[in-house]
Structure 1
Amino acid sequence: MRTEALSSLIPNAADFLAQPPTEAVNWRDSSTLDFGLAAVSELLDHGSLQRQMVSLVKDGKRVAQSAYTWAGQPIQPGFADVVRSTKVSAYIGAGATTVLESLHRTWKPIGDLCRRLSHETGLPISANAYLTPSGSQGFAHHYDTHSVLIVQTAGSKTWQLHAPVYNDPLEHQPWDGSKVTEAEWTRLRTGTPYLEVTLQPGDSLWIPRGWIHNGFATDEHSLHVSFSFPTLTPYFLAAELVRALGSERAFRAELPWGFGRSAELRGEALATTAKLLAEHFTALSEQPTDNSELADTYRRFSLESARRPLDNFLPAPTAETQVRTVAEAAAGVDWLPNGNLRVHLGDSIVEFEDAPAQVVADLLAADSAVPWTAAGFDLPEETAVELVTLLLRTGLAARV
């Protein structure tokens, strides 16, 4: 598989994929990512960002969204959630950090990069950007429940990294400073960090989930993009498996009344449930099963394939139209019992039948950037052109 996206951010992408680091790592001058102040200005000045797409952080706390949107102001209907650039400017002047949330959905180059990163890693990668004025700080000591790859794109920022105080936190176990012991706080505040580094444009920093990080701008502003690497855990799979039990009548049966006041009834109910679980999961592990529904639950986090509306006005493709495969558009591929190929696009599903199914499977598996035409398929010309048309419409192929 090509690793062009990951290789544009860090060195030795193949080694990284084979064994993701379990400790913080810093790479100097490793990234070619182009997302500077001009891009931030274009996003904020355009006047189309909604409140969910921008956060402001002042003194370690998020600013109320009503303070920098049109909420409560006399303006045209539908604009209450729109971010006001004048208000953002005032907060930046007061030292607030601006967070561009879900940047992979608002800035196409970042979206394309995240889509490719998702293909290379097998994880639904997302991105935020953080702009911090000189001498300021957004969030102080904290950990994330997912790993992040930070890429500095303008200015500089100093980071202090400490080993976890709580190993491998899950999504419902976010950072809570009040639960950190005094001894741990002393280590974080006065102890020697595992890693302390000042990032310059082009530098990257890997922070595994659970690792404490404390970042602050230097005597110049700081802009970095943070790529989130979500963690798939046995806990997640177990929760999804249990959620699916609702379709089994045995698990919908009513247990005896009195559960809250009778230890004997509680014991019987737990024994009954444990027996049902054991029988269900034994059958699940012993029998081949279609687990695509379980995969679909994870795929829902994937970025949908890129489809450009105005491509509908281009001339219809012919057998000689030059196109290339966009393998990263596929969030997943499943062969069905009937021989059809099901391709997941993040927001929808497309199925291919018969010979075209194998053609599509081969194209996606090859993951080649070399252009091709419908004429090169071992298919009737009309069928081949129809296939190319469908691939273009779904974003699985793009014109060269």
Structure 2
Amino acid sequence: MLLGSEAAHDLVAAWPDRPYTLTLPGDSPIGRVISAQTIRGFLDTGCAPSAYVNVFHRGEGLHPARYSSDDRVLPASAQVLLDKGCTFQLRELNRWHPPLGVFCAGIQAETGCAGYVTAFITPPGHQGLDYHWDQYLSIVVQLEGSKTWELWKPRVDAPYRDHSMSTDLWQDEWVAQWMQAGPDYEFELTVGDVLVLPRGWVHNPHSRNASEASVHLTFVLKERVPQWVAERLIGSAINDVRFRTVIPPSGLDPAQMPETIKGVRALVIDYLNGLNVEEMVPALRHAAEKEMSHATL
């Protein structure tokens, strides 16, 4: 794993609920897989697919027409925007840079958590994304330059998928409150530093104090929760003919719906009570290690 064997063991043994930093160990394979130069090269050569690139300036996103054409990022436009202080986000590199695809697959095999990796380039003295929280655990690896991370305790309990997203619940007065109180944690990452950031923690990352451009990777690990297990247990019910029996239109009438729901609930309880747990173990472990579709995470 990217953290090295000892730190990876600690992470899996005790899943973090508070942010912390560590130093990228010498046995981490990340340096053989990707570098800041390679990430810059995606923009300089026009190889970055525009569908996977976002550009931000002072917290606001720019329209893709400002920097792309024919499904590719335009190198000249990218440089102009970087010179103006814009941050480039190269999303889900594991989908279009094979070495990182293999790397993320290895993380999933080790943890049972699917995920992805995204790169950020932020010019010195500027900021791209500002205050927000994420739905999953992030592991930030600083490849070049420095970036300051201001962190606050979660505003919501256990955000997950599209539940309790910061964009949906946002209240503008929160920023003033956070600024007045000051961050609960503040870390300045330099080359080789790693930040482990649990889901829900509010963060305001910036390079306002930096003297050179910041390049970092964010590995996202999409944790499994009881909801994920429950979906697969219920999903296996398709093998029981009772769950493939047609519900007639009359059963979907609002007046009849309560009885339909009660009947299906009774079926679910009966099915789960009779489920062979040991038979489900290999199926769920295989799903944890292999499922990558965003619709089933």
Q: Provide TM-score, normalisation by structure 1.
A: 0.63
Tell me, in whole angstroms, the C-alpha distance in 2 between the residues paired with 1:17 and 1:241.
24
Runs of 5+ unmatched residues, structure 1 = 71-79, 303-400
Tell me, in whole angstroms, the C-alpha distance in 2 between the residues paired with 1:282 and 1:210.
34
48 and 16 in structure 1: CA distance in 2 versus 1, 3 angstrom threshold: same
Residue deviations 1:232-281 (CA, integer Å, cap 9, x gap): 0111222233344445443342156275542xx23312211110110111
Higher Rg: 1
Secondary structure of the 1:49 match is coil
249 and 59 in structure 1: CA distance in 2 versus 1, 3 angstrom threshold: farther
Q: 1:189-338 counterparts in 2 under 5 A?
A: 189-217=179-207, 218-220=209-211, 221-252=213-244, 253-255=246-248, 257=250, 259=252, 261-262=254-255, 265-284=256-275, 286=276, 288-290=278-280, 292-298=282-288, 299-301=290-292
State the 1:25 CA deviation: 0.6
Residue 3 of structure 2: aligned partner = 6
Give the aligned residue type for 1:61.
Answer: E
Q: What is the aligned length?
A: 285
287 and 7 in structure 1: CA distance in 2 versus 1, 3 angstrom threshold: closer
State the 1:6 CA deviation: 2.3
90 and 274 in structure 1: CA distance in 2 versus 1, 3 angstrom threshold: same
Q: Could you tell me whether the CA contact under 8 Å between 1:67 and 1:87 is conserved in 2?
A: yes
| % same residue | 25
Residue deviations 1:114-150 (CA, integer Å, cap 9, x gap): 3443343333342111001122222111111110010
Tell me whether 1:127 sits opposite 2:133 in the alignment.
no
Residue deviations 1:334-379 (CA, integer Å, cap 9, x gap): xxxxxxxxxxxxxxxxxxxxxxxxxxxxxxxxxxxxxxxxxxxxxx
RMSD: 2.9
Tell me, in whole angstroms, the C-alpha distance in 1 between the residues paired with 2:39 and 2:235.
41
255 and 271 in structure 1: CA distance in 2 versus 1, 3 angstrom threshold: farther
282 and 257 in structure 1: CA distance in 2 versus 1, 3 angstrom threshold: same
Q: Could you tell me whether the CA contact under 8 Å between 1:165 and 1:180 is conserved in 2?
A: no
Tell me, in whole angstroms, the C-alpha distance in 2 between the residues paired with 1:281 and 1:301.
26
Tell me whether 1:61 sits opposite 2:71 in the alignment.
no
Q: Provide TM-score, normalisation by structure 2.
A: 0.83
Residue 335 of structure 1: aligned partner = none
54 and 261 in structure 1: CA distance in 2 versus 1, 3 angstrom threshold: closer
Structure number with greater CO (CA < 8 Å, separation at least 6) is: 2
| Larger deviation, residues 154-163 vs 244-253 | 244-253
Q: Could you tell me whether the CA contact under 8 Å between 1:140 and 1:214 is conserved in 2?
A: yes
